[in-house]
Amino acid sequence: MSIANSATSEDVGSAAQRERRKRILDATYELAKSGGFDAVQMRAVAEQADVALGTLYRYFPSKIHLLVSALGRQFEEASARLNERDIPGDTQAERVLYVLKRMARGMQGDPKLTEALTRAFMFADSSVTNEIHVVGMAMTSIVTHAMHGGVPDEGALTEEDVAIARVIGDVWLSALVAWVTGRSTAADTATHMEKAVHLILRD
Amino acid sequence: MSIANSATSEDVGSAAQRERRKRILDATYELAKSGGFDAVQMRAVAEQADVALGTLYRYFPSKIHLLVSALGRQFEEASARLNERDIPGDTQAERVLYVLKRMARGMQGDPKLTEALTRAFMFADSSVTNEIHVVGMAMTSIVTHAMHGGVPDEGALTEEDVAIARVIGDVWLSALVAWVTGRSTAADTATHMEKAVHLILRD
DNA sequence: AATCGTGGTGGAACGTGTTCCAAATTATGC
DNA sequence: GCATAATTTGGAACACGTTCCACCACGATT
C-alpha cells in the first residue's frame, strides 16, 4: 500500500518525500488511535514523525487536512476490503445493514481514532473538498456495493441507487457524530440505523 | 450556583443576571451574523456584551456551549413561528419540503450565522447534551408538525413518525454541513433534500 | 449601619494551532 | 565538483480558547 495519499493519489515527489509523508500519516494514526482528536497535536505529530513543524505544515496545511487525509486512507482500505467479498443477506436492507454493522464494529473497536477522524471530517471547510470527496465516494461505493449484493459490476448503478446511498450515508454520518460526541450509545446508534435503513429500503 | 445552565431558556436568576445573559446571547448572535464562527471570539463577545471574560465563562462554560445555546434560541423561535400556522401542501412530502425550504431560505439569508451555529453543533461533545437536545426536539417538532399538516394536536405521533422525522433531520444536518463548509451549493442541497424526502415519504 | 458572601471585574498566564524566518542541508543543472 | 535552487530544520512569535487569581461591588442579614 503505497501510503502517501491515494486519495488525491499523489505518487509525486522523491522517495524521501514519500517516506516523510508516510511517517507523518503513521504518526497521526497512532496518536489519534491512542488519544483521539486532542492528542493529535501538531508538535507531537512532527516529533513522532521526526520532521520539523514547518515541514509538517508544508505537507499538510492544517490539522484538519492531516486528519481527513488519514480518514481517507482508512475508508479506502475499508472499501477495498468490503468490495472484494460477497455480502450476505437476502434483501438490500439486510445486506446494507450487514455492512454498516461491520463498519460500526470496527469503529467501536477504535473509538478514539473514530472520534478524531469524524471530528476532523465535520470541521472541514471547502479547502478540504478533495480529501472529503474521497471519503464520500468510498462511503457511497460501500453502500451501493452492498445493495447489489456484491456484484463487481459497478456500471449498473441507477441515479436512484446513488441517491439512496447518499441518504443512508447522511444518516450514518449523523449517527456517527452523535455516538462520537457521546450523545448516544452504540446500541442506540445501531437501532436508529436499522430503523432508517428499513424506512429507506423497503424491499 | 444556580445560574448559567441554559438549555431551555430558564427564567432563573435575578433580573440583572437574565439581562446579562440576554446581552451575551445577543452579542454572540451579532458577531456570528457578521463574521461567522471565527468572529465569535470570547474576548469580543465579552466586550460587546459589556461583561468580563470570567463572567462570560461563568454563564457559558465554553464557546461551543455559547453558540449552541444561541442556536437553540433560534430553533425554538423558528419552531414556534412555524407551528402556529398551517402548512400548505397536499402530501406529507410536499408539506415537509415546504417547511425545509422555508428554513433553508432563512439560513441562506444569514450564511455566516448558519455557519457558526452549525459548526458549533457539529463540534459539541457530551457536555453539551442538554443544549443539543433542545435543538433536536425543535427539529423533530418542526418536521412532524409539517407531516401532519399543521394540526395542533401533537398527541397523535406514532413511533414511525418520530423515526421518519429523525431521519429527515439527519439528512438535513448532513446537507447543511456540506453547504456550510462550501462543499455543495444551495441548489445542490435543495435537490438532495427533495430526493431524500420523496424517498422517505412516498405517500 | 456594619458585616458577610455571592458574583463581577480586570488582567495575567498557559496551551495549542499556525505563521515566519534565518541557517543548515539536500537536490539539481552545468 | 561546483553553483544555485529547493527543502528541511529549529525555534521564536502570535492568536485565541481557557484558566486562574486578587480584588471590588452590592444585596441580604443582623
Q: Which residues of A110-121 are buried (b: 16+ CB within 10 A; e: fewer)?
A: bebbbbbbbbbb
Q: Which nucleotide is nearest to A43 (CA to C1')?
A: C16
In degrees rounded to 5, what are phi and psi of residue A10? -90, 105
Kindly report the backbone phi and psi dihedral angles of residue A100, in degrees, each rounded to the nearest multiple of 5, phi listed first: -65, -40
User: What's the grid cell of residue A133?
Assistant: 470527496
Mean pLDDT of chain A: 86
Give backbone dihedrals phi and psi of A5, rounded to 5 degrees, phi first.
-145, 95
HSE-CB for A41 with a 13 A CA cutoff: 6
Check residue A154 and give its pLDDT. 58
Which nucleotide has the shortest C1'-to-CA distance from A52? D9
Query: Cβ of B7: how many Cβ atoms within 10 Å?
Result: 16
- Residues A114-137, mean pLDDT to the nearest whole number: 85
Determine contact, residues B92/B147, Cβ cutoff 8 Å: yes
Least confident of A11-20, A79-88, A145-154, B97-106: A145-154
pLDDT of residue B10: 52
How far apart CA A196 and CA B183 sit, in angstroms, is 25
Distances (CA, A) of A182 to A64, A162, A196: 21, 30, 20
ipTM over 0.95: no
pLDDT the model gives residue B155: 64
B112 CA, C12 C1': separation in Å? Answer: 33
Count of CB atoms situated within 10 Å of the CB of B37? 22
Instruction: Specify whether the CB–CB gap between A47 and A41 falls below 8 A.
Output: no
Cα nearest neighbour of A125 on chain B: B181
Q: Are B82 and B99 in contact (CB under 8 A)?
A: yes
Rounded CA–C1' distance between B15 and D26, in angstroms: 14
- Asked whether residue B141 carries a pLDDT value surpassing 60, the answer given is yes
Residue of chain B minimizing CA distance to A126:
B182
B199/A200 Cβ within 8 A: yes
Q: What is the mean pLDDT of residues B126-146?
A: 86
* Residue in chain B nearest A196 by alpha carbon: B167
- Give the model's pLDDT for residue A158: 87
Would you state the pLDDT for residue B151?
65
Distances, alpha carbon B55 to alpha carbons B5, B46, B90, B116, B186, in Å: 13, 8, 51, 22, 39
> Percent of chain B having pLDDT more than 90?
50
What is the CA A161 to C1' D14 distance in angstroms?
50
Checking each nucleotide's C1' against the CA of B63, the nearest proves to be D17
Are residues A163 and B200, on separate chains, in Cβ contact within 8 Å? no
- Residue B199 has its nearest CB partner, among A124, A163, A192, at A163
The rounded distance, in Å, linking the Cα atoms of B115 and A192 is 27
pLDDT number for residue A8: 40
Position of cell 456550510? Answer: B180
Q: Which of residues 122-161 of B touch A (CB under 8 A)?
A: 122-126, 129, 132
Averaged pLDDT for residues B145-155: 74
Indicate the residue type of B179. Answer: W
Nearest-CA neighbor of A69 among A61, A80, A58, A81? A61
* Cβ contact A129–B183 (<8 Å): yes
Query: Distance in angstroms, CA of B160 to C1' of D17?
Result: 42
Separation CA B83–CA B69 (nearest Å): 21
Does the pLDDT at position B92 exceed 90? yes
Looking at CA atoms only, how far is residue B44 from chain A in angstroms? 22
Backbone dihedral angles phi then psi of residue A153, each to the nearest 5 degrees: -75, 105
